[in-house]
Amino acid sequence: MRLIITLILISINFTAICQNTADSSYIDHSYIRHINDKVSISTYFSNAKLNLLFNNYPPKTWFDDNGVVRRERPKDILYTPNNSYLIGLGFAFGNLGIRASIQTPYSQYDEGVYGKSSVFRLGADGFIKKWYLDAEYYRYSGFIDSSVKMYDSLQTEPGPLIRDDIITRSINLQAERFTNNKFSYKAVFKQKKIQLRSAFTTYYKIRFRSENYSGLTPFLPPLARNPDSKYGTMTNLRMNDLTAIGGVAGVLVYKGFYIGGLLGLGVGGQHQAFTLDGGSDSQFSFLPAMDFKASGGYNTERLFITVQTNTEVTYSALPHTLDQEFLAISYFTSFELNCGYRFNMGPKLNNTVKWVNRVINDTANMIFSGGKSHQKNSINQ
């Protein structure tokens, strides 16, 4: 019997306030409502898919061994996981929360033919000195290119490309700051507050990302490689990039219903390290950056039902952007449906949550102030 629970994913969400003026005093309370006195229970379904595109710009056609039959070469190799669907439960006590999920038994294609995929994600978020912080680690293994093509001249008939040896690991750290305190990132995208009225703002973000792709054989099958390029034999690619992004964000609210989003553009630098048949090498490159996120639904004091989508793109070109012999692009897209209910928090639990918040605040103060003492403030996040 097939094992249904194939993966446990834990996402720990916490909020740490490290400033004399805490989050609660920074925001405009006529636009944003706190829910520190509530316990929330939610269930969610998500599809977090990582698509990997590789292109070595090969010649357009190739001949069979008899030198007579001309065939089209595969150009863009697009790898996707066969299963990226997760279901889970979330529990939150004010701003302190934890979410756990399992990978569903549903796969997009028959696992007996296309193989299995596994997904692991771990995330945390916080708020320090008017900056919203997000950190995430994810790992994917088992990819396919479902296009039925001839990927190798040794194939007798077209078929999909199955790569259960490819593993990707990614660390994503980002800090965002919004210029209008009437807009709450926590309300629109985290459901840790409630946006009462419509608001718009500009924002800027600093993002660091480290991605590592590895395979036992080259990412590109033989017929997708350019014989005049050395990059076709690549089996490992690590990208570390730092980008600065600026853009606009906004939310429309009507009687508990809301729709919000943000869009930003930027530029950054990237360090690329890669392994080829002939050895390893590294280089630096500039790259464009894009940031898009949208959320909508119903979010009130008790009930919340939300839908959220997020798109992140990582771009790497070798030897450089203006002279591309090898192109690697990762498209991370996520869709999440979240439904939950909030209950009143009893006095004992409320005091416990405040104590935990105070410990987080004092610890963060100690770290960011170099051990200097600060006057303790009550935290009403």
Name, in order, each residue with C-beta under 8 angstroms of 331's C-beta and a sequence gap of 6 or more: 50, 51, 53, 311, 312, 313
Q: What is the mean pLDDT of residues 103-130?
A: 82
Which of 374 and 192 is assigned the larger pLDDT?
192
What average pLDDT does this structure show over 59-83?
Answer: 84
For the chain, the structural domain boundaries read 8-368
Mean pLDDT computed over 290-313: 92
Compute the average pLDDT of residues 61-69: 75
Answer yes or no: CATH 2.60.40 is held by domain 8-368.
no
**Which of 165-179, 229-243, 295-309, 334-348 comes out lowest in average pLDDT?**
334-348
- Lookup: tokens for 93: 């006590």
Q: What confidence tier does 212 reach under pLDDT thresholds 50, 70, 90?
A: very high
| pLDDT score at 213 | 96
CB atoms within 10 A of CB 70: 10
**3-class secondary structure, 355:** helix
Q: Which residues, at least 6 apart from 320, have a Cβ–Cβ distance to it below 8 Å?
A: 283, 285
Q: From residue 255, give the alpha-carbon distance in Å to each of 170, 194, 215, 252.
A: 39, 11, 51, 10
Q: What is the CA radius of gyration of the chain?
A: 24
Residues with Cβ within 8 Å of 255's Cβ and at least 6 positions away in sequence, in order, are none
Query: What distance in Å separates the CA atoms of residue 353 and residue 351, rounded to the nearest whole number?
Result: 5
Predicted local distance difference test score (pLDDT) of residue 43: 93
pLDDT tens digits for range 217-230: 999 999 999 999 99
DSSP state of 370: T
Q: Which of 325, 232, 242 is nearest to 287 (CA)?
A: 242
Pairwise CA distance, residues 212 & 330, whole Å: 11
> CA-CA distance, 254 to 300, in Å (whole number)?
11
At 206, is the pLDDT very low, low, confident or very high (cuts 50, 70, 90)?
A: very high
pTM: 0.80
- pLDDT tens per residue, range 93-109: 766 677 778 888 888 88
- Amino acid letter, residue 283: Q
Name the β-bridge partners of 203: 178, 247
Taking alpha carbons only, the member of 241, 235, 229, 319 closest to residue 274 is 235
Q: Is the pLDDT at 54 greater than 50, yes or no?
A: yes
> What CA–CA distance (Å, rounded) separates 87 from 337?
10
Helix (H) or strand (E) holding 258: strand 257-276
Q: Is 315 helix (H, G, I), strand (E, B) or coil?
A: strand
What burial class does residue 323 get, using C-beta atoms within 10 Å of its C-beta: 0-12 exposed, 13-18 middle, 19+ buried?
exposed
- The angle formed by the CA atoms of residues 33, 12 and 91, to the nearest 5 degrees, is 55
The single-letter DSSP state of residue 157 is: S
The helices-and-strands tally (H runs, E runs) of the chain is 4, 18
374: exposed, middle or buried (Cβ count in 10 Å: 0-12, 13-18, 19+): middle
Question: ∠ CA 100-139-141 to the nearest 5 degrees?
Answer: 115
